[in-house]
């Protein structure tokens, strides 16, 4: 597998996944022993047909799902995410944030309150239940909203925003967590092509300016070429390609997406 | 021979229907005395069982000949829906099965409830009723202050019962929601609470009032306790159904920030269910006011107890006053609750 064109320092591994297996209670083996490294500061994109296990993989990384076996070493091997329990899981989730295809905001809350939810792990339970977030948290939240260009919508209800705007709120929320890594599960799959690029640009900005590592599931290869620094392709729960986006030629394309598949461009 | 869900339901339906029809026909034909039935109960039970077996056999046999019975019509699996023909009701077997069952049920029903047109048209009876109506529409306003005081007791009884039930039901509702109680231990708690609440709800508030009037003595407190117990069970069920129907998205979203269990419930679930909660609660209060009146009949205090007192003495003018007060209050509560629930939509 080719690895040319990768600019990130490969010595700095932030996540090291070894032999990750996930079998769902209904018997579906969604991941069949996946091993790879995530490097600090990279924009790693995971591609593959739907059902290939991309979402499952991301959800194992922040323990929204429990892996069946294997290890996920985090923080230079100090911690195995696959093994942590209870409060440890919540600490992992705080450090490895996530954004979703359907944004997963709380629809009835204001934009600002949604962003403040990113501070829950930092706020004592009784304070958070009373809605007492610190002044510093509020200021930061507004800053993060400005970063994604929607500070002026802070007091609108989240469900009054368009899809693209909601996804930007979700980015602001994940930034409030002050995460080391952001997982993005098809963040633009339910957006129209124009908005799609806006959101991807903000993710790129977060990656380049704030130096936050990003692991992102994507559907369209054209987007992958534009934004990824490195690519992993999954097929039926196994990694079949790992390398630079530029090296995915027609042959690889056919192997990843199946013979007869045609590349679609988002412009 | 597999007994799947469809087959079981069809067989049960057809055999019950057959046993019922034959039994009713038998009783209508023989017209046995009540004592006779009581004495021969064992015989009738055996007969019933035998008839059910025959009914099941007939149902199977008919299916073999592709004759659609009522049980088949109602419970057939999707794969056999095509057997239902588009024929006119009178050209189908199930049509006649339905008509005969209906006629026999109505007939025996009238016999059992002793429905009697002559009784209804009896001159002396009618005169009595007219006298009562006159009295009802000629209320004795002297007791109005007393009635108002009592109806206020009833309203507060319903209010306190609802108010105390809200926090209990609110907290317990999360323990009765399948989507939260996934863990094996949690699931046991879930099942236990569900069963308990189903049990409590299956006992009418009226019965609870009788139990509590023995326990804490006749009066508003007994009525309040009865309503509260019933409200907790009902609200917890309705609340938990709301919790079960919330979107997974916000839950995952909040969880992904590293929020704790309580924070997830508070920030991802509560905002999604709060409006329906309020709506259910207002409706429950409204229902409780009506129930509180009835509960007064058996010693729950308030306007109901007052009503039953005057009714016992055949003081119809006073009863008239009380009925009017109750009607006005129930109507007002109904309107208010409808307006509030409408505003919450
Ligand atoms: N909660 C679940 N329970 C059972 N099977 C699941 C669940 N989630 C996903 N799967 C199965 O796991 C496989 C991988 O799914 P997923 O990770 O969602 O793939 P992708 O995100 O690449 O479309 C699929 O076969 C899917 O049907
Ligand atoms: Mg997916």
pLDDT band at residue B46 using 50, 70 and 90 as cut-offs: very high
> A244-258 pLDDT, tens per residue?
988 888 888 888 888
pLDDT digits (tens, 9 = 90+) for A12-43: 899 999 999 999 999 999 999 999 999 999 99
Say if residues A95 and B229 touch (Cβ distance below 8 Å).
no
pLDDT digits (tens, 9 = 90+) for B82-93: 666 666 777 788
Give buried/exposed letters for B149-181 (b at 16+ CB in 10 A, else e): ebbebbbbbbbbbbebbbebbbebbbbbbeebb
CA distance A121 to chain B (A): 5
Ligand 1 centre to CA of A175 (Å) is: 27
Instruction: Give the tens place of pLDDT for each residue, B196-243.
Output: 999 999 998 889 988 998 898 888 888 899 999 999 999 999 999 999
Q: 10 Å Cβ neighbour count for B230?
A: 26
Quick one: average pLDDT of B286-298?
89
Query: Residue A1 has what pLDDT?
Result: 41
Q: Identify the residue with better confidence: A266 or B341.
A: B341
- pLDDT score of B2: 64
Q: What is the pLDDT of residue A11?
A: 64
Give how far A2 is from chain B: nearest CA, Å: 34
- Of A227, A163, A159, A216, the closest CA to residue A185 belongs to A216
Nearest Cα of chain A lies from the Cα of B233 at a distance, in angstroms, of 26
CA dist B318 → B150, B297, B328 (Å)? 14, 16, 16
Distance between CA atoms of residues A82 and A67, nearest Å: 6
Quick check: helix, strand or coil at residue B70? helix
> What is the CATH T-level fold of the domain B140-344, as seen in this structure?
MetI-like fold (1.10.3720)
* Secondary structure element (H or E) that encloses residue A224, with its range: helix A221-227
Percentage of chain A exceeding pLDDT 70: 93
Backbone angles phi, psi at A226, to 5 degrees: -80, -35
Q: Using CA positions, which residue lies closest to atom 24 of ligand 1? A: A51
Q: What is the pLDDT of residues B244-268, one digit of tens each?
A: 998 899 999 999 999 999 999 999 9
Q: Which residue has the tokens 């923080």?
A: A75
Nearest to A64 among B252, B262, B266 (CB): B252
- Whether residue A9 has pLDDT greater than 90: no
SS3 B104: helix
Least confident of A25-34, A104-113, A220-229: A220-229
Q: Considering chain B, what is the average pLDDT of its residues? A: 88
* pLDDT band, very low/low/confident/very high, at A5 (cuts 50, 70, 90): very low
Q: Which ligand is nearest to the CA of A50?
A: 1
In sequence order, the β-bridge partners of residue A23 are: A29
| Whether pLDDT at A267 is above 60 | no
Domain regions of chain B by residue span: 2-115, 140-344
Could you say which of B252, B257, B260 has the minimum Cβ distance to residue A117?
A: B257
pLDDT digits (tens, 9 = 90+) for B150-168: 999 999 999 999 999 999 9
CB-CB under 8 Å, A93 with B255: yes
Distance CA B33, CA A55 (A): 73
Query: How is residue A97 written in tokens?
Result: 């944030």
Phi first, then psi: give them for residue A27, nearest 5 degrees.
Answer: 100, -10
Residue B177's alpha-carbon distances to B119, B240, B245, in angstroms, are: 53, 5, 9
Residue A10 has pLDDT above 60, yes or no: no
pLDDT over 70, % of chain B: 97
Residue A138, SS3 per DSSP: helix
Q: Which among A93, A106, A129 has CB closest to B250?
A: A106
Taking residues B299-312, report their average pLDDT.
89
Where does the pLDDT of residue B298 fall: very low under 50, low under 70, confident under 90, or very high at 90 and above? confident
To test ligand 1's pocket by mutation, which of A28, A57, A102 has the most ligand atoms within 8 angstroms of CB? A28
What length is written for chain B?
Answer: 345
- Does the beta-carbon distance from B252 to A91 stay under 8 Å? no
Average pLDDT over residues B11-15: 93
- Using an 8 Å Cβ cutoff, are A49 and A71 in contact? no
d(CA A229, CA A239) in angstroms, rounded, equals: 17
Answer yes or no: are the C-beta atoms of A218 and A47 closer than 8 Å. yes
For residues A227 and A43, the answer to whether their CB atoms sit within 8 Å is yes
The topology under which CATH files domain A12-257 is Rossmann fold (3.40.50)
* φ/ψ of residue B118, rounded to 5: -65, -40
Between B166 and B182, whose confidence is greater?
A: B166
Closest CA to B159 of B276, B307, B281: B281
Q: Ligand 1: which atom is nearest the Cα of residue A28? A: 5
Cβ–Cβ gap B267/A120 under 8 Å: yes
Question: How many residue pairs from chains A and B have C-beta atoms closer than 8 A?
Answer: 79
Residue B252: list chain A partners with CB under 8 A.
64, 100, 104
Percentage of chain B exceeding pLDDT 90: 50
Angstroms from B275 CA to nearest CA on chain A? 11
Exposure of A188 by Cβ count < 10 A (0-12 exposed, 13-18 middle, 19+ buried)? buried
Asked whether the whole model's pTM tops 0.80, one would answer no
Q: What is the pLDDT of residue A265?
A: 66
- Contact between A112 and A138 under an 8 Å Cβ cutoff? The reply is yes
**Nearest residue in chain A measured CA to CA from B249:** A104
Instruction: Answer whether residue B3 shows pLDDT above 80.
Output: no
Higher pLDDT, A238 or B343: A238
Atom of ligand 1 lying closest to residue A237 CA: 14
Helix (H, G, I), strand (E, B) or coil at A258: coil
Q: Is B302 left (phi over 0), alpha (psi -120 to 50) or beta?
A: left
Q: Say if residue B17's pLDDT is above 80.
A: yes
Of A94, A97, A104, the CB nearest to B249: A104
Structure tokens at B138: 């000629």
Q: What are phi and psi of B26, to 5 degrees?
A: -60, -45
Quick: pLDDT tens for B113-144: 877 777 777 788 888 888 888 888 888 899 99
More reliable by pLDDT, A23 or A221: A23
User: Which pLDDT score, from 0 to 100, does residue A231 have?
Assistant: 95
């Amino acid at each position: 597998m080719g690895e040319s064109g990768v600019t990130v320092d490969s010595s700095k591994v932030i996540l090291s996944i070894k032999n990750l297996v996930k079998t769902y209670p209904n018997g579906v083996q969604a991941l069949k022993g996946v091993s790879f490294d995530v490097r600090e500061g990279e924009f790693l994109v995971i591609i593959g047909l739907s059902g290939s296990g991309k979402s499952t993989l991301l959800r194992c990384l922040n323990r929204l799902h429990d892996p069946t076996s294997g290890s996920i070493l985090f923080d230079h091997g100090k911690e195995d995410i696959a093994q942590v329990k209870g409060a440890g899981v919540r600490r992992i989730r705080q450090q490895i944030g996530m954004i979703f295809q359907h944004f997963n905001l709380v629809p009835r809350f204001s934009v600002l309150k949604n962003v403040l939810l990113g501070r829950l792990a930092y706020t004592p339970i009784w304070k958070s239940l009373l809605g007492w977030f610190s002044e510093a948290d509020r200021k930061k939240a507004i800053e993060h909203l400005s970063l994604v260009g929607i500070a002026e919508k802070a007091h609108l209800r989240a469900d009054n925003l368009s899809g693209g705007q909601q996804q930007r709120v979700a980015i602001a929320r994940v930034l409030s967590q002050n995460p080391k890594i952001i997982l993005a599960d098809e963040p633009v799959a339910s957006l129209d092509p124009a908005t799609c690029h806006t959101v991807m640009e903000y993710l790129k900005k977060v990656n380049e300016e704030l130096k936050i590592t990003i692991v992102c599931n994507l559907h369209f290869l054209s987007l992958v070429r534009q934004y990824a620094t490195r690519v992993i392709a999954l097929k039926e729960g196994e990694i079949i390609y790992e390398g630079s986006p530029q090296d995915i030629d027609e042959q690889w394309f056919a192997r990843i997406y199946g013979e007869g598949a045609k590349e679609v461009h988002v412009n | 021979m597999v007994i799947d869900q469809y087959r079981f339901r069809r067989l049960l339906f057809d055999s019950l229907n057959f046993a019922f029809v034959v039994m009713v026909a038998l009783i209508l034909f023989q017209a046995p005395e009540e004592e006779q039935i009581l004495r021969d109960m064992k015989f009738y039970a055996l007969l019933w069982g035998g008839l059910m077996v025959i009914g099941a056999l007939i149902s199977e046999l008919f299916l073999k000949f592709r004759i659609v019975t009522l049980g088949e019509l109602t419970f057939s699996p999707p794969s056999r829906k095509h057997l239902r023909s588009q024929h006119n009701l009178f050209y189908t077997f199930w049509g006649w099965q339905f008509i005969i069952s209906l006629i026999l049920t109505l007939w025996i029903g009238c016999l059992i409830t002793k429905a009697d047109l002559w009784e209804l048209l009896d001159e002396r009876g009618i005169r009595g009723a007219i006298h009562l109506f006159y009295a009802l529409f000629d209320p004795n306003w002297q007791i109005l202050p007393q009635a108002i005081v009592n109806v206020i007791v009833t309203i507060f009884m319903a209010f306190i019962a609802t108010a105390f039930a809200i926090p209990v039901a609110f907290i317990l509702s999360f323990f009765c929601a399948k989507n939260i109680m996934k863990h094996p231990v949690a699931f046991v708690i879930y099942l236990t609470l569900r069963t308990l609440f189903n049990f409590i709800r299956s006992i009418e508030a009226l019965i609870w009032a009788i139990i509590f009037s023995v326990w804490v003595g006749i009066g508003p407190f007994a009525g309040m306790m009865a309503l509260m117990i019933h409200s907790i069970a009902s609200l917890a069920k309705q609340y938990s159904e709301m919790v079960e129907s919330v979107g997974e998205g916000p839950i995952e979203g909040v969880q992904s920030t590293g929020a704790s269990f309580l924070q997830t419930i508070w920030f991802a679930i509560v905002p999604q269910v709060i409006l329906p909660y309020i709506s259910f609660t207002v409706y429950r209060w409204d229902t409780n006011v009506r129930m509180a009146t009835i509960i007064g009949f058996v010693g729950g205090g308030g306007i109901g107890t007052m009503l039953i007192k005057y009714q016992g003495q055949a003081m119809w003018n006073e009863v008239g006053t009380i009925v009017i007060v109750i009607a006005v209050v129930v109507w007002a509560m109904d309107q208010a609750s409808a307006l509030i629930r409408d505003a919450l939509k």
